Structure 1
Amino acid sequence: MASGTSSEPHFGEAQTPLADRPYQPTTEPAVRDPPGSSSKAYLRSINGLLKIAQVVTSFIAFICVEVVDRCRNCKALYFFEFVSCSVFLISFSLLIIFCFRLNKRFSAINWKLTDEINALLATLFLLIACIVLAVKNSGNSAEIAAVVFGFFALFLFLGSSFFVLLEWKQRAPWSSRSTSSSGPNHNYSRTRSDSHPEQPNQNV
């Protein structure tokens, strides 16, 4: 019969050419990211560039304080040294975490919130340390340079916190809910009114 001589394969016969390598289509990913692409993508982003600039400026401010040999008010100098060193170490650690995507492995920590808190605290403490050292410095060029780079780092942290808050505002859950709740209800009311037109009053 024609059905017996048909050349169309039955169910299951199309998979016979892959019998020698049955696990290849499922175990190997279709697309693989090239090595280092994620690191380059973060370093080229606005947050990555700001983070690099924060690390560099805070490190330069710390180095300028370290080369000071004499101080008129050493407490202000020591406070600035502590703040600049702490800001540099924390920002450098966050840069390494985001650059090598270690935040994906430790997803239990809200790294966006951590970065925002670090930016706000760094802005606050750098503002206090720079003002104190600017008022009570001994006129040394290294101290003046430390204050200048401290203010540079302060504005960079302020810009970083602004961009993080802007990103959170764009991804806010209430904004999507408000738009989705207003649209479907309006469409539903129109559909209901169209499908059930008002009936004339029978009592008249």
Structure 2
Amino acid sequence: MADTTATNSGVPFVEKLKSYVKTQKGTILAAEILLSFIIIICYAASVYSGYSAVAICEMIMAIIFFVVFMMELDKQFALVNWLWTDFFRAIIGAILYVITSLICVIGGAGDGARIAGGVFGLIAGLLFAYDTYTIYLRIKSSRQHTAASTGEGV
């Protein structure tokens, strides 16, 4: 008898992937991964390929958070505050992309791949900043939904 559970195990993953990419957070994370990959390619073709470290780190972190949120592992591992961790990941990514991209665009005379990587990096910085803003709105709304004790009923 053939084991039929092995072939069916991939179907829920693909369905989760398709449904998660259609959400706002999934679209943002997928765009971050794609932009980081494009930036890695641009910086790899450049004379100064050292700037690709930021893109590699941010792409790996975006992939990790994409998988965690897609598979709903954030609900299983409640020890980590995933919302705040994602907030710090996005804000650090935005800051690092803007800084390195400005350096590449300003000092990249004669190196088209470096300038292209810098331009895509500025776009990625804006995307990471938008991700930071959406996460901030979720943090703010989650704080308003929790009732705070006023001490008047004591």
Interval of TM-score (by shorter of Structure 1 and Structure 2): 0.7 to 0.9
Question: TM (normalized to structure 2)?
Answer: 0.80
* Residue-by-residue CA offset, 1:91-128 (whole Å, 9 max, x unaligned): 11111111122222322111111111000000111111
Structure-2 separation of matches of 1:177 and 1:101? 26
Is residue 147 of structure 2 the alignment partner of residue 177 of structure 1?
yes
Letter matched to residue 115 of structure 1 = D
SS of residue in 2 equivalent to 1:139:
coil
Is residue 6 of structure 2 the alignment partner of residue 35 of structure 1?
no
Is residue 108 of structure 2 the alignment partner of residue 137 of structure 1?
yes
Q: Note the residue ranges of structure 2 that are not aligned, 5 or more in a row.
A: 1-10
Letter matched to residue 57 of structure 2 = S
Match of 1:57 among 35, 49, 58: 35
Question: Where does 1:1-204 land on structure 2 (aligned, <5 Å)?
Answer: 35-36=12-13, 38-68=16-46, 71=47, 74=48, 77-78=49-50, 80-173=51-144, 176-177=146-147
Root mean square deviation of aligned Cα? 2.3
Letter matched to residue 177 of structure 1 = A
Question: TM (normalized to structure 1)?
Answer: 0.62
The structural deviation recorded for 1:84 is 1.1
Q: Note the residue ranges of structure 1 that are not aligned, 5 or more in a row.
A: 1-33, 186-204
Identical amino acids, percent of aligned pairs:
24
The structural deviation recorded for 1:38 is 4.6
Contact in 1 for aligned 2:83/2:139 (Cα 8 Å): no
The structural deviation recorded for 1:136 is 1.4
SS of residue in 1 equivalent to 2:67:
helix
Alignment size in residue pairs = 140
Which entry has the higher C-alpha Rg, 1 or 2? 1
Write 1 or 2 for the structure with the bigger share of helix.
Answer: 2
